[in-house]
Structure 1
């Protein structure tokens, strides 16, 4: 079945700049339009039209970076007008095409779906050394002793620290999963620790040792630069939001850089961030489960939209689990990792949802 769906995806990808015809796809595949649509959604967890929308808009960001005229881009991707393209773009990325063209902020990668591959296997760290070397040539000051690198998770921290990938700078992991369970403000006070430890079903001592202790370096040394290494997915972006809110709580006065990357490759996009509104965004999103009142970069906007969708009972993941109940637990976990890379949950988060649905 995955090979069949991949054939459909390949057909769609070859025609992203044309008007989509479900009937044309169905004729090509030799099945009814309903069957094609149903199977596509069942295997990929997304409707065809949503997939096409997201892929077109993501590919159009490359044209915007090249400073092409927005009206020409709209026509290329088969929009009826520049206004229609702009509305669709803002609904996905949270800013207009013209604003993106001016600021060129990072967005969550919306790659071509791969449901079947004879070669198999993605590599996450293949380009790591090359990318770090490029960063050093561009910003050598980020490799010195007055720099703290905060990395998303223990595995990434241990690799960066053991290899001294960022030279003489310091390293600290952020070992949390802020995309699940309740939270509080202020961040990292006793109430926060109790709430988060209870949500994760771990002891206070264990939580403090794993999450709080590694970050005490922020209170022990004055850093001119803090570099945040977080992936594009929902899991990483909610962690990033928490760290940014905490830096505001500490009234950090130095310079903050975000090094964002996709989890299936290591191509880094570096962005300087201005603190000032992240604590308010943290409260709106992670505490009150509401859209932020402040504008955020497209990458975080996309993740916030996903996060709020995941708070609903009938979210895309629970729907997918319900439709694939026949799969074994291990098979279902594997599928969830493949189908929802933009969410970025780990085994623990997916198992909670599987047990809830089943």
Structure 2
């Protein structure tokens, strides 16, 4: 997904760009695309585009005789002065100085995602810690456990490392921080509103978000383990899942495993399903701060 997103951005470096168009191409909300890009690369999409265009401009300064003003206009600057300021701010010298004396610059080449070398890689010590947490829970509940992971990327990482053993696990492919929602989670109204907000057909929304969650809807588990990060994006998703479990009267054990998605450090906390529907209604429906000082973990 990330590489496909990067390829699309590269193909549209010199066109009018919108997160809505990117989200439509990827099948996710614009907010989700923006969040995941920043999470995995460390910079915003806007910054990535700016650095890439500046790098390509530097190559043309070095290899062609095009006028600086022509390059400025080609790469989206309204004047030669604006281009010069941006170039100097990026590389520490002016375009004219670089052209007279080309020298090695900080390169901003197209990102290539490599699962063995990029931020997806999981430290073996963290893998062993996750294994230990899983073994502890499986000792209590045998295999009658559902693990819910925040998003497809975490799901695939856990799948590739076979961290769940024989337990069931599913991804929560939503971005609840953006767009409106409804009081009754996963109702027909909820699905219609969320699909509309993400600008995808209802069938596509159900395929991405609801189909993977069928085990949660259809099976009765003794224990549910929630694997979510500590940032706001993940916490709002977590709140939605907790509110849903409270909504349906789930009476099994619930554990929250807070995961650092960059290095997969993890902390475990047991959760009691009480008050989360009220928080969901206050925050997600009425857009208010919670009335009670209720901690998610």
Q: Structure 1 residues 164, 280: closer, same or farther in 2, change over 3 A? A: same
Asked if structure 1 preserves the Cα contact closer than 8 Å seen for 2:152 and 2:172, the reply is: yes
Match of 2:208 among 207, 210, 213: 210
Q: What SS does structure 2 have at the residue aligned with 1:180?
A: coil
- Partner of residue 173, structure 1: 171
Confirm or deny that 1:248 pairs with 2:246.
Answer: yes
Asked if structure 1 preserves the Cα contact closer than 8 Å seen for 2:120 and 2:157, the reply is: no
Asked if structure 2 preserves the Cα contact closer than 8 Å seen for 1:257 and 1:273, the reply is: yes
* C-alpha distance after superposition, 1:330-349 (max 9, x if no partner): xxxxxxxxxxxxxxxxxxxx
RMSD: 2.3
Q: Structure 1 residues 163, 142: closer, same or farther in 2, change over 3 A? A: farther
Matches within 5 A, 1:135-214: 135-136=133-134, 138-141=136-139, 144-214=142-212
- Partner of residue 273, structure 1: 271
* C-alpha distance after superposition, 1:304-355 (max 9, x if no partner): xxxxxxxxxxxxxxxxxxxxxxxxxxxxxxxxxxxxxxxxxxxxxxxxxxxx
Asked if structure 2 preserves the Cα contact closer than 8 Å seen for 1:150 and 1:173, the reply is: yes
Q: What SS does structure 2 have at the residue aligned with 1:219?
A: helix
* C-alpha distance after superposition, 1:86-121 (max 9, x if no partner): xxxxxxxxxxxxxxxxxxxxxxxxxxxxxxxxxxx7
Confirm or deny that 1:264 pairs with 2:277.
Answer: no
- The TM-score, its normalising length taken from structure 2, stands at 0.56
Paired residues in the alignment total 181
Q: What SS does structure 1 have at the residue aligned with 2:243?
A: helix
The whole-number CA distance in structure 1 between the counterparts of 2:133 and 2:206 is: 33
Q: Structure 1 residues 234, 142: closer, same or farther in 2, change over 3 A? A: farther
Match of 1:125 among 122, 127, 130: 122
Moved over 4 A (4+): 121-124
Q: Structure 1 residues 246, 290: closer, same or farther in 2, change over 3 A? A: same
Q: Which runs of 5+ in 2 are unaligned?
A: 1-42, 44-117
* C-alpha distance after superposition, 1:14-64 (max 9, x if no partner): xxxxxxxxxxxxxxxxxxxxxxxxxxxxxx9xxxxxxxxxxxxxxxxxxxx
- The TM-score, its normalising length taken from structure 1, stands at 0.47
The whole-number CA distance in structure 2 between the counterparts of 1:176 and 1:123 is: 20
Q: What SS does structure 2 have at the residue aligned with 1:216?
A: helix
- Partner of residue 115, structure 2: none
The whole-number CA distance in structure 2 between the counterparts of 1:152 and 1:141 is: 24
Match of 2:233 among 210, 232, 235: 235
Matches within 5 A, 1:3-14: none
The whole-number CA distance in structure 2 between the counterparts of 1:123 and 1:166 is: 17
Asked if structure 2 preserves the Cα contact closer than 8 Å seen for 1:125 and 1:266, the reply is: yes
Asked if structure 1 preserves the Cα contact closer than 8 Å seen for 2:126 and 2:264, the reply is: yes
Q: CA deviation at 1:134?
A: 2.9
The whole-number CA distance in structure 1 between the counterparts of 2:159 and 2:174 is: 19
- Partner of residue 302, structure 1: none
- Partner of residue 32, structure 1: none
Q: Which has the higher contact order (CA 8 A, sep 6+)?
A: 1
Matches within 5 A, 1:301-316: none
The whole-number CA distance in structure 1 between the counterparts of 2:234 and 2:121 is: 15
Asked if structure 1 preserves the Cα contact closer than 8 Å seen for 2:282 and 2:288, the reply is: yes
Q: What SS does structure 1 have at the residue aligned with 2:177?
A: coil
Which one has a bigger Cα radius of gyration? 2
The whole-number CA distance in structure 1 between the counterparts of 2:194 and 2:250 is: 24
The whole-number CA distance in structure 2 between the counterparts of 1:191 and 1:139 is: 36
